[in-house]
Chains A and B, each alone.
Chain A
Amino acid sequence: MQQRKSVCLGMMLAAAVAMPALAQQAPVKIGMVTTLSGPGGYLGQDIRDAFKLAIDMNGGKLGGAPVELVVEDDALKPGQGKQIAEKMLKTDGIKIMTGIVFSNVAGATVPDIVDAGALYVSPNAAPSNFAGKECNENYFVVSWQNDSLHESAGQHATNLGYKKAFILAPNYQAGKDALAGFKRLFKGEVVGEVYTRLDQTDFAPEMAQIRSANPDVVFQFHPGGLGIAFLRQYQQAGLLGKTPMVLAEPSLDATTLKAVGDAALGLSVTAHWNTDFDNASNKAFVEAFTKAYNRVPTYYASQGYDTALAIASALKATGGKADVPALRKALAKADFQSVRGAFKFGPNQHPVQDWYALKVEKGADGAPVLKTQGKVLSNHSDAYAKDCKL
């Protein structure tokens, strides 16, 4: 009996592996709750590093105001994200928050932040439930609304003339948004729809289902380590040469690409940003990031950087005061040079932006890189903006 009780205790503890990391305090404190450990750890790391880079490039300041970043790891656990946010809001009195990578963490954490009167500027997750009726004046998204990321993939698959699609995503808010987004702009038939688990690493059963459904195209959304495992197993199952795949950027970021290697050649990807975008802000960012961290920035990094620039533009307008109503007003103008080029906020304070088709090709050094092909969607907002009354 004693033994079994202990096994249960063990299981509970094992399910709660957590490693908070602390940073020190600063003049204008910006709280960053992000995912730094576990399979999704590199996503948060890139957001944090790019955000830090923006601060470092301006001599420790954003918009002329000295800032310091307080970073903590949510370990992809909604409960932990909520706790950290509470502590940052109440104990540290932080007024500007950012950083959350995963929509399930955002779902638990963001309402507390905005209800406490603090500003939340999302560098990544933007679940559908916060974009429409539940939108909030203190909630800004610099990245994209979840659905629109995958709407671009749906549009691209339609443009490429595919008729039968098999679609997969993990069973959580962003996964549901992904499939809903893809289906919204995909004109063909969806022959199979599968929800995987967010902690799943072996996709063999799904590969068998794909093979038996025999679609024209596969669309899948698996961020971080999941995407690497998925693509590799897709290749091992002999599907890669047979059934083309259309993806949105999170399933094939620079890190995934490096891990998957030549197997990824020819894959179609859609994104709002790419390393090869030809604008001054992006060139400066890619060069500085590569120099500082000795790796290619992922699109998570670009979003972290843009978020820092957005917050900088607001701080500049308020003269470095963390006065939320004034910051909010300044932020809504989006007065900064985004690395993706044209950028503005829609009525629900989510981006209105262009989406591009990318293709994996061999780069100059022989390693596969993402090359921008052309526009898929112009000035694209999201499906929920009309329900938002701010």
Chain B
Amino acid sequence: MTLVLEQLLNGLQFGVMLFLLAAGLTLIFGIMGVINLAHGSLYMVGAYAAAFAAAQTGSVIIAIIAGLAAAAIVGMAMELFVLRRLYARDHLDQVLATFALILIFNQSVTLLFGRQPLFVSVPPALNGSIELLPGLTYPIYRLIIIAVGLAVALGLYLLINRTRIGMLVRAGATHREMVRALGVDIRLLYTAVFGLGALLAGLAGLMAGPILAVQVGMGEQILIMTFVVVVIGGVGSIRGAFFGALLVGLVDTVLRAFLPGLLRQVMTGSEADALGAGLASMGIYMLMAVVLLVRPKGLFPANV
């Protein structure tokens, strides 16, 4: 039983990380109509900046600020200098340009930091595990990630639904032309939304640093999953990104953890493991296919 609970926590933690990335991606996609393949690069930038700052100063606070600032600044620069020219073009041009950005970012980081992955240690205060229930110990750092992710989700909910900026963002997602016609400075809104998305990606990156290896190409590994989340949740919808991310995180983790065991009841060990691992890695894509069949616009479409 504790194993199931622990796996659910793992799924939740993975889902929260996916949400931080998907929130930015879905906003940018929903509001500006731009597919930003380089969103994963912002995640990488956040992770590298935080790792570098941590190694130089040894301060957690400075590392966090550096990670967030670097991702947001790089993100806004990307919007100003590259994407702004592409809003009127079709999606193929945008995909090609942002794909080029991935290559440029990856190669630049390789030049700056080399190919060896960087090492970031967990802040000493958060290093260790606590016993949540008898027999269920869980790393504190991962609990913090879950807490931060949920807090960001709540903050975004309030920002989008209760503030004037949020109103513009919602309006931009559903009636872009009308917002422009009403005289809103849409360019500023675009840059701000892009910066926010980049900031969240950077946050995910800097939190992932101490758990995963900080390395070139780390963004692309998670980017594909993030796209799946956006499609399942519904393009442009923060709520969709949240529930989509949790769903994908939980389904992926639970399948990986329990499917081989279940299959082992009906077939021999090594075959069950291989088949289980194969099916588990297909799991979220099958989920996406089913969601698209039943709800072609995703679970929580933004513009109904």
Contacts and interface: CB of A to CB of B under 8 A. Distances in A.
B159 interface: no
Interface residues of B, number: 67
Nearest to A43: B115
Contact of A202 (B129, B212, B230): B212
A258 B118 CA distance: 9
B227 A7 contact: yes
A22 interface: no
A199 B212 CA distance: 12
A208 B257 contact: yes
B231 interface: yes
A19 B99 CA distance: 12
B116 A37 contact: no
A39 B95 CA distance: 23
Given A3-B33, A259-B117, A193 B273 contact: yes
B243 interface: no
Contact of A9 (B92, B128, B270): B92
B129 A10 contact: no
Contacts of B220: 14-15, 17, 38
Interface string A18-29: 010000000000
Given A13-B95, A42-B115, A233-B211, A205 B256 contact: yes
Interface in B117-174: 117-119, 121-122, 127-129, 137, 139, 141-142
Contact of B139 (A5, A205, A236): A236
B14 A204 contact: yes
Given A37-B106, A236-B127, A208 B10 contact: yes
A254 to B, nearest CB: 10
Interface stretch (A99-107, A224-232, A270-278, A346-354): A224-232
Interface string B270-287: 100110111001000000
A72 B217 CA distance: 18
B16 to A, nearest CB: 12
A280 B34 CA distance: 60
A24 B171 CA distance: 55
Nearest to A171: B277
A10 B94 CA distance: 9
B122 A9 contact: no
Contact of B253 (A39, A205, A224): A205
A261 B210 CA distance: 13
A336 B107 CA distance: 37
B218 A39 contact: yes
Question: Considering residues A41, A205, A206, A255, which has the most beta carbons from chain B within 10 angstroms of its beta carbon?
Answer: A205
B68 interface: no
B35 A209 contact: no
B91 A238 contact: no
A196 B277 contact: yes
Given A193-B269, A202-B14, A205-B253, A10 B235 contact: no
A17 B107 CA distance: 11
A201 B227 contact: no
Interface residues of A, number: 55
Contact of B10 (A6, A41, A205, A229): A205
Contact of B119 (A4, A11, A259): A259
A13 B103 contact: no
Contact of B213 (A45, A205, A259): A259
Interface string B26-44: 0001000101010010000
Interface string A185-215: 0000000011111010110111011011000
Given A3-B91, A201-B221, A209-B3, A232 B211 contact: yes
Contacts of A11: 224, 227
Contact of A37 (B110, B121, B260): B110
A14 B223 contact: yes
A221 B216 CA distance: 21
A378 interface: no
Contact of B270 (A10, A193, A224): A193
A321 B65 CA distance: 59
Contacts of A228: 117, 119, 213
Nearest to A45: B115
Contacts of A7: 29, 35, 227, 230-231, 235
Contacts of A195: 260, 273-274, 276-277
A260 interface: yes
Contacts of B94: 6
A11 B115 CA distance: 24
Interface string B84-118: 00000001101110010011001100100011111
Given A14-B224, A238-B137, A42 B116 contact: yes
B215 interface: yes
> Of residues B13, B128, B129, B211, which shows the largest number of chain A Cβ atoms within 10 Å of its Cβ?
B211
A146 B33 CA distance: 48
A255 B142 CA distance: 25
A237 interface: yes
A204 B213 contact: no
A114 B103 CA distance: 32
A233 B118 CA distance: 15
7 contacts: A7-B35, A13-B95, A39-B216, A205-B253, A238-B128, A255-B117, A259-B116
Given A3-B29, A9-B95, A19-B106, 9 more contacts: A6-B95, A7-B227, A7-B231, A36-B115, A195-B260, A204-B142, A232-B210, A236-B122, A236-B211
6 closest Cβ contacts across the A-B interface? A6-B91, A195-B277, A41-B115, A38-B217, A204-B10, A259-B119
